[in-house]
Chain A
Amino acid sequence: GKSDNSVVMAYDQAPESVDPFFNNVRIGVIIGQHVWDTLIYRDPITNDYKGQLAKSWKWVDDRTLEVELREGIKFHNGEEFDADDVVYTLNFVSKPENKVTTQQNVSWIEKAEKVDKHKVRITTKKVFPAAIEYLAGPVVIHPNEYYEKVGPAGQNDKPVGSGPYKVTEYVPGKSIVLETNPDYFADSPKPKPTIGKVEIRFIPDRQTQMAEAISGGVDFIMHVPKDQAEQLEAAPHLQVVSGETMRIVFMQMNSQEGTPAPALKDERVRKAIIHAIDRETMVKEIVGKGSRVLNTICFPSQFGCTDHGAPKYPYDPEKAKSLLAEAGFPNGLELDIVAYRERNQTEAIIGYLQAVGIKANLRFLQYAAMREQIRGNKAMLTHQTWGSFSVNDVSASTPVYFAMGDDDISRDPEVRDALNKGDNSVDPAVRNASYKEALTRIAEKAYAVPLYSLPVYYVATADLDFRAYPDEMPRFWEMTWKK
């Protein structure tokens, strides 16, 4: 609370490891950004890149990035930051045998070399314009001497970074305590924190979190569902802050060869499904403030994302029924739907489908199990979300599901070609055009149901002054107490 200048945050899931490379959960990213620094920093409002551990950087050629490092920075254990740390970290994490959990964040790195004490060169495996984005996000820098000594396990036991907060107590699975790093370097784009102590407790049950918030045991919770957040707003000592995130929600429909639901191969059925769902009402009633209805499978702020020219399918249950009848299903049909989060939204979708005669049986699975279903060509309808790792570029979203990768279950070569063209070009105009082509075709063929973006609701003590960002990252270093 304000009285002792500390914030207790509750989160529903404990990270498997606090080492950012060895977890793939949001709380891991949050802890990572507080305890560690990255080479580059992206301003969450302007989306400008600024140097953090790096003073400056430039592309030497298509695949080589040269980074000049800031001097005089110290890790929490006193170790000095220099090129060795960067080289060691990048080379360590990019080696598959080191079993980094977030492979997709580091697999683009070919190697890192020390040029001099404060300059390194990073080589990418192929042309990879998004490298800056990754260096500004998940790729944090570890202290090489310490890391070499203790390894990922030791870094998890006693984490050491260079970030604005340092870990003073960590009980895996239970809680982690962060306290301000008094020696944090002044030039960092992350301002020196005001909040002296941040305790993150892992409370799996959402109701327990709410109860704690109501009873004052916890100051800050996030990912609160809309209804609950609105209810908590009534409590005088609490405030609710919400905002849009980059996480998009959509339904894939398995229309590839050998699909267990051949009906979905029929474009009319797919269109009927989109027409059946009242996305506007869902957004308004159950998804919440900050959400917007999408028409294409990407987040609007992402580079290349657009819905201009793409057909839109407004809520029209009658049309849906007639399309189904046309397709030969006048009495409706029965389909399975797999989902892994926001179950109430899936349930609403099922309700809408039921209303037009599609009986959807929910199979609510763990993410991994759902992935298995999809990749094994066993899924019919899927209710999915995608956060693009907060990467503000379409290359991080649409291609994952439509470029004939493992998760593509519509498998249209035309779409793939257009997406690949966009991915592999450095010319923004070419990229924009090819992505538009792909997105339009996806919409025309109704390969998937674009639903909406997910908002995030934070509930916090009324004293705390903070804002919500699309990347679902609470930034304690910039939070202050209200006067």
Chain B
Amino acid sequence: MTSEPLSLPAAAEPTAFSRLMRRVLGQKAFVIGVGILAVIVLIALLAPVLAPHDPYLQNLSARNVPPFWYAKGSWVHPLGTDQLGRDYLSRVIYGARISLLIGISVVIISGLIGTTLGLAAGYFGGKVDMLVTFLVTTRLSMPVILVALAVVAMIGGSLWIVILVLGFLKWDRFAVVMRSATQQVRSLDYVAAAEAAGASTTRIVLREVLPNIAPHLIVVATLEAASAILLEAALSFLGLGVQPPLPSWGLMISEAKAYMFFSFWLIAIPGTALALLIFAINLAGDGLRDIIAPEGRS
């Protein structure tokens, strides 16, 4: 028997990592999303270096200077100035920090709440599940924007209040997704096998269940981050979000809308930045979902 030349390629597949990479790179949308997101994150991190001016420095005698591409614009303020004469480019750059901070913080708070509830409901079922389902229904039945508006209106807006309010309001999707994902994983035999091996419930939840639902968690987290950023923008738009002079994009849109009919760039610039960020996060989230989907199924 001559074994060597006889061997055929077996049904074994390429390594997990290279397969994953191929799937990731195959998702052009995902690559674009992550790319844009990375740029925005970099801008946020390097804001002090990148911003040409202090974003808070006002100059009332140089107000509403248009961006450089208008005849009246200049390169001193590449994107012009706002209604208090502050450098618009610097404010947009610093605004990235705020939006990202909001997105990330809200997701951490709501993710912790929602995941805990969802895991408990999905794993233990029965009464716990009923309770969580009730909580979710109750939460879902109150429109986020309305409750957030009311609470912020009452106790006054500020960055951290907005973050806390949104964090305590937006856990529902985490709970719902984590619940069903946990239920699904819970019924799989490897959980039973771990139980039969004597593993404690905590261990099973943390080591067997959680890692397997983590991809769903990440997908929900990205989409929720986008929605939190949008909500903050909406609150700020109604004047009940973060407070000036903080350069939040939502606030900038809100302030610029007064000028939209005559100085459209004022609203278009933060509006585009916001849309771009949301766009990038959604692309990344969608892509991620597609990337993990087949794995979840098999």
Contacts and interface: CB of A to CB of B under 8 A. Distances in A.
Interface string B122-165: 00000000000000000000000000000001101110000000
Interface string A269-285: 00000000010011001
B154 to A, nearest CB: 7
B153 A351 contact: no
Contacts of A231: 259, 261-263
Nearest to B64: A227
Per DSSP, chain B at the interface is: loop
A365 interface: yes
B239 A364 contact: yes
A227 B83 contact: yes
Interface stretch (B53-61, B197-205, B218-226, B288-296): B53-61
B258 A207 contact: yes
A343 B260 contact: no
A225 interface: yes
Interface in B62-113: 63-64, 83-84, 86
A228 B243 contact: no
A350 B60 contact: no
Contacts of A168: none
Interface in A89-121: none
A210 interface: yes
Contacts of A366: 153
Nearest to B257: A207
Most buried by B among A225, A278, A362: A362
B245 interface: yes
A361 B158 contact: yes
Contacts of B60: 278, 281-282, 285-286, 348
A206 B261 CA distance: 12
Nearest to A365: B156
A369 B261 CA distance: 33
Interface in A282-310: 282, 285-286
B286 interface: no
B26 interface: no
B35 interface: no
Q: Which of A211, A281, A285, A366 gathers the greatest number of chain B CB atoms within 10 Å?
A: A285
Contacts of A362: 243-245
Overall SS of chain A's interface? helix
B61 A281 contact: yes
Nearest to A230: B262
Nearest to A208: B257
A338 to B, nearest CB: 8
Interface string B223-259: 0000000000000000100011100000000010111
A76 to B, nearest CB: 38
Interface in A51-90: none
Nearest to A373: B156
B56 A210 contact: no
Contacts of A228: 258-259
Interface in B28-56: 56
A450 B63 CA distance: 24
Contacts of B158: 361, 363
Given A207-B257, A231-B262, A278-B60, A364 B83 contact: no
B63 A206 contact: no
A351 B255 contact: no
Contacts of B245: 347, 350-351, 354, 362
Size bin of chain A's contact surface: 20 to 34
A255 to B, nearest CB: 22
Interface residues of B, number: 27
Contacts of B261: 207, 210-211, 214, 231
A35 B272 CA distance: 48
Nearest to B154: A369
Query: Taking each of B58, B157, B255, which has the highest tally of chain A beta carbons within 10 Å of its own beta carbon?
Result: B58
A364 B243 contact: yes
Contacts of B243: 361-364
Contacts of A424: none
B290 to A, nearest CB: 39
B258 A369 contact: no
A285 B157 CA distance: 27
B258 A351 contact: no
Nearest to A211: B261
B58 A227 contact: no
A110 B255 CA distance: 48
Nearest to B258: A228
Contact of A234 (B154, B156, B262): B262
Nearest to A351: B58
A343 B244 contact: yes
A425 interface: no
Contacts of A343: 239, 244
A194 interface: no
Contacts of B154: 369
A214 B84 CA distance: 25
A278 B262 CA distance: 27
B56 A354 contact: yes
Contacts of A351: 56-58, 84, 86, 245
A214 to B, nearest CB: 6
A225 B258 contact: yes
Contacts of B262: 231, 234
A348 B58 contact: yes
Contacts of A348: 58, 60, 84
Given A210-B261, A343-B239, A363 B84 contact: no
B259 A347 contact: no
Interface string A339-377: 000011011101110110000011111100100000000
B258 A285 contact: no
Contact of B84 (A234, A344, A364, A365): A344
Given A286-B60, A363-B157, 9 more contacts: A227-B258, A231-B262, A231-B263, A278-B60, A344-B83, A348-B58, A355-B57, A363-B243, A366-B153
What 10 A-B pairs are tightest by C-beta distance, nearest first? Answer: A351-B58, A231-B262, A285-B60, A362-B243, A347-B244, A363-B156, A281-B60, A207-B257, A365-B156, A347-B245
29 contacts: A207-B257, A207-B258, A211-B261, A227-B83, A227-B258, A281-B60, A285-B60, A286-B63, A286-B84, A343-B239, A343-B244, A344-B255, A347-B245, A348-B58, A351-B57, A351-B84, A354-B56, A355-B57, A361-B243, A362-B244, A362-B245, A363-B156, A363-B158, A364-B239, A364-B243, A364-B244, A365-B156, A369-B153, A369-B154
Interface of B: 56-58, 60-61, 63-64, 83-84, 86, 153-154, 156-158, 239, 243-245, 255, 257-263
